[in-house]
Structure 1
Amino acid sequence: MSSCFTISLSLLFFFINFAATEAVPTFLRHYCPNATLFTPNSTYQSNLNALLSSLSSAAADSADGFANAIVGQNPPDQVYGLFLCRGDIDITTCSNCVATGKQDILQRCPNRQVSVIWYDECMLRYSDVFISSVMEQVPSFTMHHTGNITDPTRFMQVLEETMDDITARASVRKSGKKVAIAEANFTSLKKLHTLAQCTPDLTVSQCNTCLRAAILGLPRGKKGGRMFTPSCSMRFELYPFYNASAIAALVPPPSYLPSPPALVTRRNGTYLFLLFVFR
């Protein structure tokens, strides 16, 4: 009896630890320039703490997975911030990611007036200048899968067509989540899975511009890749990495935007953090 109880207790702890591990957001990258520092225990720091707490609270019931906020009466002590959660995750996962980012960004970017942190599940950023409804393409970074495609010409054709499709659909949404996904047949046995997303405060034109630029940062001839900026992101893989039913539950796809000219050649890479673009 004692042995069975011990085994059951061990299994219980295992599942508790497993669940706790699963709840931890996957950190990807942070950016915080040394040139923008604030004085410890200053009014700016007090406002920053209040801002991050406000965003964390907003994430707990944000149906759009997005919110922005301003704290402070006058410059240079005003702080502006926002968060964006991946379009297919639920409110609990979104809230957990932003809450983690609230603590993590202060540890990774101490005394910085401008910072952004990316996880697989969300992005959190703040600044001493106005950022709401402003399209930002820098800083940016890419992640590349190490595996190569056996038929890169065919793959890039399918990828470009699919990215055009989801860029148009994500951009044209005028309210709610600006996100779109698509699947395409690469071979009879392999499917391409893609996702594009913008912050909901962007206009149709801003989102379209951001995603078109992000496409150019994607790798050529690789099995997977991602591109992140403060205002939008794109990803493709040869396996499903998103909750398709969650995105399908959003409003029906609207009319498409006109397609742009053919894309230019992209660079190679590995599935590592390879590119940072600064102001």
Structure 2
Amino acid sequence: EDAIIWHEFCQIQYSYRMFFSMMVYNGKYPDSNDQEKIVSEDPVHFNEVLMSLMRDLSNEAVFGHSKLMFATGKMKISGTQTIHGLAQCTRDISRDDCSRCLNNVLGDIDACCKSRQ
């Protein structure tokens, strides 16, 4: 139902549950599970919405007015489903390095999580 990808200096997260302002740590690796993750009923639409949200948040984290180098947001997938997202970089790196890191993470999401909710 959610995914978090950390690189050394940046993070991307998405979920159907609202996670802003919540102290939640699930560990670095997911619990072992023999069951496959839920595959979206419309994987093409899910991927388009997910990647659009995460690209927008990545751009806002890098190029936005905030010096904090993070962005949060959400997008509707359907009438009842919303994806919440977060993109964040550590503030000890340049905006160029933040952009490179988040672009790498976006590639990881596309590779690992295609059509997976």
TM-score higher than 0.5 here? yes
Q: What is the aligned partner in structure 1 of residue 58 from structure 2?
A: 167
Instruction: Summarize deviations over 1:106-163 as a string: whole Å, max 9, x none.
Output: xxxxxxxxxxxxx828xxxxxxxxxxxxxxxxxxx77598211110000111111111
Output the CA distance in 2 between the equivalents of 1:143 and 1:204. Answer: 30
Deviation at 1:173, TM superposition (A): 4.8
Give the secondary structure class of the aligned counterpart of 2:71.
Answer: strand
Are the structure 2 counterparts of residues 89 and 177 from structure 1 closer, same or farther at C-alpha, using a change threshold of 3 Å? farther
Output the CA distance in 2 between the equivalents of 1:179 and 1:208. Answer: 11
Q: What is the aligned partner in structure 1 of residue 74 from structure 2?
A: 183
Gaps of 5+ in 1: 1-87, 94-118, 122-140, 224-279
Higher relative contact order (CA 8 A, sep 6+): 2
Q: What is the aligned partner in structure 2 of residue 207 from structure 1?
A: 98
Matches within 5 A, 1:104-253: 120=25, 146-173=37-64, 176-218=67-109, 219-223=113-117
Output the CA distance in 2 between the equivalents of 1:143 and 1:212. Answer: 23
TM value normalised by structure 2 = 0.64
Output the CA distance in 2 between the equivalents of 1:167 and 1:191. Answer: 18
Output the CA distance in 2 between the equivalents of 1:168 and 1:143. Answer: 27
Are the structure 2 counterparts of residues 175 and 188 from structure 1 closer, same or farther at C-alpha, using a change threshold of 3 Å? closer
Are the structure 2 counterparts of residues 220 and 157 from structure 1 closer, same or farther at C-alpha, using a change threshold of 3 Å? same
Matches within 5 A, 1:66-85: none
Are the structure 2 counterparts of residues 208 and 186 from structure 1 closer, same or farther at C-alpha, using a change threshold of 3 Å? same
TM value normalised by structure 1 = 0.29
Identity %: 22
- Kindly name which structure, 1 or 2, has the bigger radius of gyration based on alpha carbons: 1
Alpha-carbon RMSD? 2.8
On the 8 A contact 1:174/1:204 being kept in 2, the answer is no
Output the CA distance in 2 between the equivalents of 1:174 and 1:188. Answer: 31
Give the secondary structure class of the aligned counterpart of 1:217.
Answer: helix
Output the CA distance in 2 between the equivalents of 1:174 and 1:187. Answer: 30
Gaps of 5+ in 2: 1-19
Give the secondary structure class of the aligned counterpart of 2:46.
Answer: helix
State the number of aligned residues. 90
On the 8 A contact 1:186/1:192 being kept in 2, the answer is yes
